[in-house]
């Protein structure tokens, strides 16, 4: 082992002497130190993802009819339950008014019938008292009992009539409500298809037609992006993630994995992928994120703090780096054992020490093993 080490030192010494004797200028290179920091194991999407809304409804009218009122415009913010479109419905309003009148009439009938029933019940009680004293005939008592029973049934029937009238009113009110389109949640109007005076026809089963109103909720957004099937196996729900947008380069948004598709997509001429959804932890106050923006996600599988790390771009095949020898000014291969790794940093488990300097600019011409170099230190 000692002989081998001496041989390597001799070779390096000869190389240094060669450079000095031939008067070659050292190559200016960029070096980077082995230092402590955080290293993460991450996976990213294979193709651009898309920002989507947690709630988006393409609303259509349940019945056909002529648009009588269009109460919103595209871009308007609306509240849950707010009226958006109303069809012509004067005929149905008349039916509702008629049903209300019938309810009122039924309630008056209850008052009359039940008042008579109470009167007949008191008369029966009076006759029963007289019959006990033998002051009224059996026929008169029987007639009083019959009248009291009939009046009681009439009162019950009148009460049932009120319930029937109220049910009819509820039906007519529901039919009237079908002519009105309301917002099912708070959001913004993305699109409107229809104008006042136009006739709206509901979509037949199995045939898609443009929605009357496209409503989007803006208080909850997420990114849906494809992840290679090999990487997707390591992803779990609620893992932390970072979101970046082409529209806002340099900004990173925090998120978490909210859904992993239960199947693999197999598209022609494309790698098999799994759709993964990452929800924003908090929406930015200073930016407006539009539905449909392209976005990228980086899911953090695991992370380690205060470990030795080097830039991933410095790693050569076989887990090697070009280590700078400050004594000789030469570069030499050094193999190391890696740990966690991502596109930017790779953990060093063993083989390198803190403070070691390695070649950062691998594409520098002439910067190979045994080359005499001059450091231009990289901050």
- Position 201 scores a pLDDT of 83
Name the nearest CA neighbour of 212 among 182, 183, 185, 191.
191
- The three-class DSSP label of residue 192 is strand
- Position 146 scores a pLDDT of 94
Strands 65-70 and 330-335: unpaired
Contact indicator for 212, 194 with CB cutoff of 8 Å: yes
Name the nearest CA neighbour of 194 among 171, 164, 214.
214
CA 7, CA 313: separation in Å to the nearest integer? 30
Give pLDDT tens digits along the chain (379 positions).
445 444 444 545 545 554 454 456 888 999 999 999 999 989 999 889 999 999 999 999 989 999 999 999 999 999 999 999 999 999 999 999 999 999 999 999 999 999 999 999 999 999 899 888 888 888 988 999 999 999 999 999 999 999 999 999 999 999 999 999 999 999 999 999 989 999 988 877 777 778 899 999 988 999 999 999 999 999 999 999 999 999 998 899 999 999 999 999 887 667 889 999 999 999 998 888 899 999 999 999 999 999 999 999 999 999 999 999 999 999 999 999 999 988 889 999 999 999 999 999 888 888 999 999 988 854 4
- Position 204 scores a pLDDT of 73
CA dihedral (349, 354, 357, 362) positive or negative? positive
Residue with tokens 């069809």: 87
- Position 195 scores a pLDDT of 92
pTM: 0.67
Within 10 angstroms of residue 378's Cβ, the number of other Cβ atoms is 13
CA 356, CA 90: separation in Å to the nearest integer? 85
Beta strand ranges found along 71-212 (DSSP E):
77-78, 83-87, 180-182, 187-192, 199-200
- Position 86 scores a pLDDT of 96
Distance of CA 40 to the CA centre of its chain: 25
User: Could you tell me which residues come within 8 angstroms of residue 233 by beta carbon, excluding any fewer than 6 positions away?
Assistant: none
User: Could you tell me which residues come within 8 angstroms of residue 141 by beta carbon, excluding any fewer than 6 positions away?
Assistant: 127, 128, 131
Please count the CA atoms within 13 angstroms of the CA of 370 that sit on its side-chain side: 11
- Position 308 scores a pLDDT of 96
CA dihedral (134, 135, 140, 144) positive or negative? negative
CA 374, CA 369: separation in Å to the nearest integer? 14
User: Could you tell me which residues come within 8 angstroms of residue 266 by beta carbon, excluding any fewer than 6 positions away?
Assistant: 272
């Amino acid at each position: 082992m000692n002989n081998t080490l001496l041989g390597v030192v001799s070779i390096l010494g000869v190389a240094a002497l060669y450079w000095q004797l031939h008067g070659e200028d050292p190559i200016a290179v960029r070096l980077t130190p082995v230092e402590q920091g955080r290293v993460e194991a991450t996976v990213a999407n294979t193709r651009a993802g898309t920002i989507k809304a947690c709630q988006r409804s393409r609303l259509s009218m349940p019945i056909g009819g002529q648009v009588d009122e269009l109460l919103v415009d595209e871009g308007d913010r609306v509240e849950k339950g707010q009226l958006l479109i109303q069809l012509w419905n004067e005929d149905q309003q008349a039916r509702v008014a008629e049903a209300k009148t019938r309810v009122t009439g039924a309630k008056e009938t209850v008052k009359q019938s039940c008042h008579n029933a109470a009167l007949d019940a008191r008369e029966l009680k009076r006759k029963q008292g007289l019959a006990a004293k033998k002051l009224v005939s059996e026929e008169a008592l029987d007639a009083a009992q019959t009248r009291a029973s009939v009046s009681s049934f009439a009162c019950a029937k009148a009460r049932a009539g009120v319930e029937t009238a109220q049910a009819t009113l509820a039906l007519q009110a529901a039919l009237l409500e079908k002519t009105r389109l309301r917002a099912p949640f708070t959001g913004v109007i993305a699109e409107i298809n229809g104008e006042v005076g136009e006739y709206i026809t509901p979509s037949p089963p199995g045939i898609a037609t443009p929605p009357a109103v496209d409503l989007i909720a803006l208080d909850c957004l997420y990114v849906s992006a494809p992840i290679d099937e090999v990487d997707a196996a390591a992803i779990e729900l609620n893992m932390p993630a970072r979101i970046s947008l082409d529209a806002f380069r340099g900004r990173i948004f925090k998120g978490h994995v909210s859904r992993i598709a239960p199947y693999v997509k197999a598209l022609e001429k494309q790698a098999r992928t799994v759709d993964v959804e990452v929800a924003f932890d908090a929406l930015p106050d200073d930016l407006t994120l539009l539905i449909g923006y392209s976005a990228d996600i980086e899911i953090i599988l695991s992370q380690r703090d205060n470990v030795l790390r080097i830039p991933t771009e410095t790693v050569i095949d076989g887990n090697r780096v070009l280590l700078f020898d400050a004594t000789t000014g030469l570069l030499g291969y050094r193999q190391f054992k890696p740990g966690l790794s991502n596109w930017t940093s790779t953990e060093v488990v063993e083989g390198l020490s803190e403070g070691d300097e390695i070649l950062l600019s691998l594409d520098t011409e002439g910067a190979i093993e045994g080359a005499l170099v001059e450091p231009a230190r990289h901050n």
